[in-house]
Chain A
Amino acid sequence: MDELMIDGVPLGSRLIMGTGGAPSLDGLGEALLASGTELTTVAMRRYAAGTGTSVFDLLERHGIRVLPNTAGCYTAREAVMTAELGREALETNWVKLEVIADEETLLPDAVELVEATEALVNRGFKVFAYTNDDPVLARRLELLGAAVVMPLGAPIGTGLGILNPHNIELIVSRAGIPVVLDAGIGTASDAALAMELGCDAVLLATAVTRAQHPVRMAEAFKHAVIAGRLAATGGRIPKREHALASSSFAGRPDL
């Protein structure tokens, strides 16, 4: 599959994984390997770096790049401080910016998100902005200097799939930076659809970590993302109202 370039870094896999909800480190490691991911996001508020036996060591051992995230932050201020923590601990200026409005929906708070994006860009971060499926907001984040926009398919952990495919398509069509479908993925076809809609990559966690067989699901998503990317660039046929035989009638003997 063609590589995805983010901030000059080529990624061979277009599946970005999260670690939330994994029952054990070993299980997480097996699932990440099966997914083929080269970039995985970790919540800085939930994991302490440098314990020697943590999730960070697991990623390092498997050669997977870490994308620190600000999950669990409700204000721009918390998000900026958490991002700084990640930069210091992990020596990367990449951050997945997550500023949520409330625990019921875990939806992004657009106003705080815009403010935090601006602040982090000024501080030299490469901001991967987790956002609503709002084409106007996504465009605004790009103009503020976000490196990647990550619209949600559905609220985090719901597994509802892509609730507004039209908006995702619109975001992709207007974006000059990579678009990553983040959150809401339930099963393989959701990930394939995201890629068919033109997204550059898919980010998911729960759909694998909380599955009954995480390794099998991880492998399913690996194939789904590849299939969706191929289909998106393969030139699908137009939808027609009437049948069109795949073998033409030309040359049929006239009896």
Chain B
Amino acid sequence: MSKHVAVIGAGIVGLGIAAEATRRGHRATIIDPAPAAGATYAAAGMLAPVSELHYQEERLLALTRESARLYPGFVAGLGETGYQETGTLVAAFDAADRAALADLKQAQLAEGLEVHEITSREARRLEPSLGPALTGAFYAPGDHQVDPRALSAALLKMLRYSGTAVVSEAAAGLIADADGAVVGVQLAGGEVMAADETVVANGLAAAALTGLPEGLVLPLRPVYGDILRLRVPAGLQPFLTSTIRGIVRGHPVYLVPRGDGTVVIGATQREDGSADVSAGGVYQLLRDAQTLVPAVAELALEEMTCRARPGTPDNAPLLGRVAAGTEDLPGLVVSTGFFRHGVLLTPVAARICADLIDGVQIAAELQQFNPDRFSNMTKESHA
């Protein structure tokens, strides 16, 4: 049965959900005053379930690995998305950085992830731009990349082509019927849009929507990130082929080479409440990137961007339906709080949301991140 699906938020996640719903024969409407202008605009687009593994976030692996697996099919037919299957090289600067990465490698191997320890000489053979002052390196062949700006533009183009309406207005809240079921969206201008299913995918702004189910708490907080885009002069091409991640005196940094001859260097994590690009953040990124790859100093600094990631208390998304008594509340799907992993998790979030809309059974390990897990609501339906 074809449904009308209202998707609030046209970041990469919302666009992915709208695209998947459309593919399955539903009619989607996207509501966002500025599509792909939030965290999506800043994101580097690393698809790195292996090198993004953090201690205490092992539960997320079920989602990140599945999403990485879905990526080739997700981008197929979209045209230019910058999806590349080159691997990721992880470099350590000093002995303690190397020890930290060697410990992490044990955790990665224990989870069945593929990572190889290589010598710094081998690393420099793969990437001659790496500086000589490395203490060790690791190679994760399965960690790839996509260009989130290109991907979101391609998704928007495909959606518009297939007749999806994009409403350039903010959503003010949800509209519910007498039983609490969500039946549509109240737009900021006052207009009401009826929908069979409403997907809340507007990142940090989700918590401010009116009409959220009684008792539902969406504990989102802004974790700001500074990120740089640099152009490689013709004389230095090819600069890098793999994504380089490193730890430099305990500070993480990454360099992502794009097919268009630019390099993305990121990213800080700040909870200081400032949405401006931080001078100290830019300094730290350039310093650490240049320590790993000395020729960074020769690049042209084209862009400095700051955006907020939607963080949650456990660094995992708020994804799924909301409980109402022993049932799920009809008409509402929440998909936000993706923090550092929005781009990577888009295909799996799109599939889960579409499965929820279609009433398809979802594997238990993918359903651990219900949006009401931080709320005092009846949870029998998720027991």
Instruction: Enumerate chain A interface residues (CB-CB to B < 8 A).
Output: 23-27, 29, 45-48, 51-55, 58, 157, 212-214
A214, B56: Cα distance in complex, Å: 9
B270 touches A46 (CB 8 A): yes
Answer yes or no: B219 CB below 8 A from chain A CBs.
yes
Contacts of B57 in A (CB 8 A): 23-24
**Bound-complex Cα distance A51 to B314 (A):** 17
Note all chain B residues with C-beta closer than 8 A to A47: 271-272
Question: How many angstroms between the C-alpha atoms of A177 and B173 in the bound complex?
Answer: 56
Assembly CA distance A16 to B182 (angstroms): 47
Q: Are B272 and A45 interface neighbours, CB within 8 A?
A: yes
Please tell me which one of the listed residues B250, B270, B272, B313 contacts residue A24 in the complex, with CB atoms under 8 A apart. Answer: B313
Q: Which of A25, A26, A48, A157 contacts B273 (CB 8 A)?
A: A48
Answer whether residue B222 sits at the interface, using C-beta atoms and an 8 A cutoff. yes
B221 CB contact (under 8 Å) in A27, A45, A53, A214 = A53
Q: What would 28 A/B residue contacts be, using CB atoms closer than 8 Å? A: A23-B54, A23-B56, A23-B57, A23-B315, A24-B56, A25-B221, A25-B311, A25-B314, A26-B314, A27-B56, A45-B272, A46-B271, A46-B272, A47-B271, A47-B272, A48-B271, A48-B274, A51-B221, A51-B271, A52-B221, A53-B220, A53-B221, A54-B271, A55-B271, A58-B313, A212-B55, A213-B55, A214-B56
Which positions 222-252 of chain B face chain A at CB distance < 8 Å?
A: 222, 250
B191 in contact (CB, < 8 A): no
Residues of B within 8 A of A58 (CB): 313
Is residue B179 contacting chain A, with contact meaning CB distance below 8 A? no
Residue of B at shortest CB range from A23? B54
In the complex, chain A residues whose CB is within 8 Å of the CB of B313? 24-26, 29, 53, 58
Q: Which B residues are CB-close (under 8 A) to A26?
A: 313-315
In angstroms, Cα B221 to Cα A27, docked, is 16
Which residues on A sit within 8 Å (CB–CB) of B55?
Answer: 23, 212-213
Q: Is B177 an interface residue (CB 8 A)?
A: no
Chain B residue, CB-CB nearest to A55: B271
**A212 CA to B313 CA, complexed, in Å:** 18
Shortest beta-carbon contacts, A-B, top 7:
A48-B273, A53-B221, A26-B314, A25-B313, A26-B313, A24-B315, A53-B219
Closest to B271 in A: A47
Cβ contacts under 8 Å, B54 to chain A? 23
| Chain B residue at minimal CB-CB distance from A157 | B250
Extra 17 A-B pairs, beta carbons < 8 Å, given A51-B221, A212-B107 = A23-B57, A25-B221, A25-B314, A27-B314, A29-B313, A45-B272, A46-B272, A47-B272, A48-B271, A48-B272, A51-B222, A51-B273, A53-B313, A157-B250, A212-B55, A212-B103, A213-B55
How would residues 264 to 286 of chain B score, 1 for a CB under 8 Å from any chain A CB and 0 otherwise?
00000011111000000000000
Chain B positions within 8 Å of A51 at CB level: 221-222, 271, 273
List chain A residues, Cβ under 8 A from B270: 46
Give the interface of B toward A (CB within 8 A): 54-57, 103, 107, 219-222, 250, 270-274, 311, 313-315
Closest chain-B Cβ to A58's Cβ sits at a distance in Å of: 8
**CA of A214 to CA of B55 in the docked complex: distance in angstroms?**
9
C-alpha gap A45/B313 in the complex (Å): 20
Q: How far is the CA of A212 from the CA of B106 in the complex (A)?
A: 11
Which one of A46, A47, A53, A58 has the highest number of Cβ atoms from chain B below 10 Å of its Cβ? A53
CA–CA, A9 and B143, complex, Å:
52
Q: Which residues does chain B contribute within 8 Å of A53, judged by CB atoms?
A: 219-221, 313
Min Cβ gap A75→B in Å is: 14
Closest residue of chain B to A43, judged by CB? B272
Interface core residue of A24, A26, A54 (most chain B CB under 10 Å): A24
How many whole Å from A208's CB to the nearest CB in chain B?
12
Using A26-B313, A26-B314, A47-B271 as known contacts, say yes or no to A54 and B221 having CB atoms under 8 A apart: yes
CA of A24 to CA of B314, assembled, Å: 6
A residues in contact with B103, CB < 8 Å: 212
A54 CA / B311 CA spacing, docked (Å): 10
Closest to B274 in A: A48
CB distance from A146 to the nearest CB of B (A): 27
Docked Cα-Cα span, A29 to B220, in Å, equals: 16
B252–chain A nearest beta-carbon distance, Å:
11
The interface centre, meaning the residue of B54, B56, B250, B272 with most chain A CB atoms within 10 A of its CB, is: B56
Question: Chain A: which residue is nearest B104 at the CB level?
Answer: A212
Bound complex: CA A53 to CA B314 (Å):
12
Q: How far is the CB of B155 from chain A (nearest CB, A)?
A: 29
B106 to chain A minimum Cβ distance, whole angstroms, is 9
Shortest B118–chain A CB gap in Å is 23
Q: How far is the CB of B203 from chain A (nearest CB, A)?
A: 14
- CB nearest to A58 among chain B residues: B313
CB-CB under 8 A from A52, the residues of chain B are 221
B348 CB, nearest partner CB in chain A, Å: 20
Name B54's closest neighbour in chain A (CB-CB). A23
Measured in the bound complex, the distance between the Cα atoms of B220 and A175 in whole Å is 45
* Residues of chain B contacted by A213 (CB below 8 angstroms): 55
CB distance from B196 to the nearest CB of A (A): 31
- Find the A residue at minimum CB distance from B273: A48
Measured CB to CB, the nearest residue on chain A to B106 is A212
